[in-house]
Structure 1
């Protein structure tokens, strides 16, 4: 990505900076100047700081842009409309109450109850509509038009961008010698405002965006040099799960961003743990996204001796997600290892295997008899280092020469499903039938699993099914479908029309060894 700003870009930066300065002069009767918290645990080769936007009254930066935008609405009788599944909704509701506006927030039906309750607590009128953000957004615009209301956009508005840009102004005023700033990207409002101010004050300061691999609209748009609309987005980092970035935010980001880092779910989970260890506060996935990207970027670029700030964008964490985050963070730190082990099915072999692991703490164990020759085992346990894990593996193979040991700590199918679904293979397979195995993901919520089950075809036999509610916003299912060879293409057509994210795991080595 280019960091050279054109003359036209400089003029735009100046105008945006003026708007940010204006916002800074009027929002602090409701908005808090948040602190810079030095990370003692992450400040090894560099000086790492967290910009604590979780300190806001609504526990995220979104109050800045919402309030600044609503200060521009002169007609105090205006009906304010906004669409959001979380933080923006709370910002609009609180700002509306502060300014005596009537606010109407359209939220998808599947929105977690805690977020609905908080919007109501801040004074917003909640309207639940649609199964996803796009349906709720259409309803929001429809209601605003019918009632001659005003829309407060979550990111694609200059006043909103200017409000979010006050984060950058605060950073500059407190630490002008910063070298790198990392910020999460959903629609792009936060990083557009921050980068606009920082790049005007000192273009040598690097501003790096962070997105997830499965919600990377800004990354793709900048690389393709045109705005890309994603067909689907990942749901774990729900605060940045945006299919289409803004027109204004795309224009700003493609002009002045230095880079965008992509991370996965496990990276985020570990970042949430890192922040907790430093602050004793639990970030939501989007809130810790910048930390995940920062850690990856530092490692890739081998940064040393730099002043680095990560913006913690929010802490509206759904409590039900915490167990999932803890589980994945332990695996990511390589303090927990998950192994698939095959040993001879004969007396004494299991004890020999276990003795190779003892006295390490065993966290999970799954085993089922499948045949007379071999026993297939899933086991997870704690280790101190990667070398410790390798020692265990070496000891098992040395003690049981015919054994096989596979580290499946990075295998998504194993981590999500097969560790909980240990069983034998199909012994009496029907003739002329093939079993296809798929992982499905769908938005979690009341009735979501029932809807998924009802969507499965009745003409084909479901031969395997595993579902576990992890407490987050995503429902995960592993399903095996038996289909005649002649109808395999028909099955693929059906899956494309199903409307859910799916992955064919029929060739996965773990499935072939342990389930097929």
Structure 2
């Protein structure tokens, strides 16, 4: 049964979330406000006991169960903030809870759930991804009579998340535009159905990672549709299929939807840290990433803009990636490739042409008797316009330049591998792979690939996430390509042929035939 808008309003106003949650602060980001020329406010949901807004919805759902349901216990599937919210809520209510988590879940998240849940929580590790864990949770619900506590697509969960809007409207009723991160849509739906009834002139903008834009896909299709894959960096919003009820509400009340890149998210994590000294998780920084992007694209000023730091449960090792990418996201750095003549003094001359700019990275590689290839990172004071001017200047001096600032393969892998060309002519084909990360996963990946095809290139990168990333090249004669494709398809890894990627062609492949 669909809940009416007025009933949602009542459910939000009466939600007993403050048994466990706090009325989180709404703070002015003074540094970012000065930079962007708009007042930027941030709702600090990292202040919740579980460092995320998810506690509100989980507790509200459990608090609305009947006595019989409470006695039977609850079950939930999650590898992240929802699991911690359910565990904390169950412990506070004295309810038995079973939390199903993928076997690939990092230990830090498992320990957090165990700590918050205490003696009332039983953790079950099942499968290597969320979909498998979720199916197992439904199976346990059917077998044992547990009540399933969904992460977003439930009226009580939506109403619990909507209490964020109730506080925000009391703290600053004059916000012009509010930016809300969207994964499954529970937070955006709860906020939207509340705010649009009480302050219909407020503009609401949904923010999605460009690697998991399930709301944008649903809007285009007119109904929720499953994405074939989702990115792993902003794991808090890595949802393939948004809920039917969350879509109904978001589609009705959200004014606009926009996406942000991983680099823009990294820049926003730094923005939040610079103003608050808090480290947001990637999904938690998305609203600030969108605010910076929206202001730059629409050239607005003098407005009151709001965002929500919806979570701060990040893996510490992720910060290595964030630090590496944040200045690209702020457009304070550019990375590019250049061909220079292979002659005495050419390298020094090129450096002189950079005009005293701060060089953040410089990889040089002899390519042939006539040319060399370099990978360059530079700091920018004037954003993309400065780089465009530099690129035009270098081109006028006869250099061939390739902007790689938006090339994910270049930034993730190739920048660390510049200079590896095969010494002989090979039938080299290159793939990017994703596979579940756990102790021994890399060896298992290699064993699964087998030894039939010779590996010609290999680079492995893991930032402490649930997925390992590999760039691998193989010597595949044309007559065995079909057999190779069949073999790789049967491995059930996410993979992509990237042989045509310009970053690979420029630095790592054999020279183009004349």
Q: Mark yes or no: TM-score above 0.5.
A: yes
Cα deviation, residue 57, structure 1? 0.8
Q: 1:299–1:278: structure 2 CA closer, same or farther, 3 Å change rule?
A: same
The one-character-per-residue Cα deviations of 1:263-289 (angstroms, maximum 9, x if unpaired) are 221111111111111111010011111
Change (3 A) 1:474 1:253: same
Q: 1:33 aligns with which of 15, 18, 23?
A: 23
Q: How does 1:155-194 map to 2 (within 5 A)?
A: 155-194=152-191
Partner of 1:422: 418
1:92-491 mapped onto 2 (5 Å cutoff)? 92-123=86-117, 124-357=121-354, 359-386=356-383, 389=387, 403-430=399-426, 434-456=427-449, 458-491=451-484
Deviates further, 358-367 or 209-218 = 358-367
Partner of 2:6: 14
3-state SS of paired residue (1:343) = strand
Instruction: Could you tell me which runs of 5 or more consecutive residues in structure 2 were left unpaired when the two chains were aligned.
Output: 510-514
In the alignment, the residues of structure 1 paired with residue 381 and residue 167 of structure 2 have an alpha-carbon distance, to the nearest angstrom, of 41
Give yes or no for contact 2:75–2:98 (8 Å, CA) kept in 1: yes
Residues 192, 253 of structure 1: 8 Å contact kept: yes
TM-superposed CA distance for 1:348, in Å, is 2.6
Deviations 1:456-489 (A, max 9, x none): 2533222211122333344222112222223334
Aligned partner of residue 30 in structure 2, secondary structure: coil
How many residues end up aligned between the 2 structures?
501
Q: How far is 1:502 from its partner?
A: 2.8
Q: Do the aligned partners of residues 445 and 364 (structure 1) sit closer, same or farther apart at CA in structure 2, a change above 3 Å counting?
A: farther
- Give secondary structure in 1 for the equivalent of 2:318: helix
State the Cα distance separating 1:12 from its structure 2 match: 1.6
What SS does structure 1 have at the residue aligned with 2:4? helix
Query: In the alignment, does 2:61 pair up with 1:69?
Result: yes
Task: Indicate conservation of the 8 Å contact 2:21/2:56, yes or no.
Answer: yes
SS at match of 2:351: helix
Q: Does 1:91 align with 2:91?
A: no
- Helix, strand or coil for the counterpart of 2:71? coil
Q: Secondary structure of 1:318's match?
A: coil
Superposition deviation, residue 215 in structure 1: 1.1
Query: Could you give the per-residue CA deviations for residues 44-66 of structure 1, whole angstroms, max 9, x where no partner exists?
Result: 33221111111111100011111
Partner of 1:4: none
SS of 2:207's equivalent in the other structure is strand
Partner residue in 2 for 1:513: 506
CA distance in 2, matches of 1:402, 1:179: 49
Measured in 2, the distance between the counterparts of 1:509 and 1:160 equals 46
| Aligned-residue offset at 1:128 | 1.4
What CA distance in whole angstroms lies between the structure 2 residues aligned with 1:263 and 1:346? 43
Distance change (3 Å), C-alpha of 1:89 and 1:209: same
TM-score by length of structure 1 reads: 0.91
In structure 2, C-alpha distance between the alignment counterparts of 1:468 and 1:201, rounded to whole Å:
48
Instruction: List per-residue Cα deviations over 1:199-225 (Å, max 9, x = no partner).
Output: 111222122111112211122112211
Q: 1:80 aligns with which of 42, 62, 74?
A: 74
Per-residue displacement from partner, 1:220-274 (whole Å, max 9, x unpaired)? 1122112201222111111111122112112222222212111221111111111
- Rate the CA distance shift 1:471–1:353 in 2: closer, same or farther, 3 A: farther
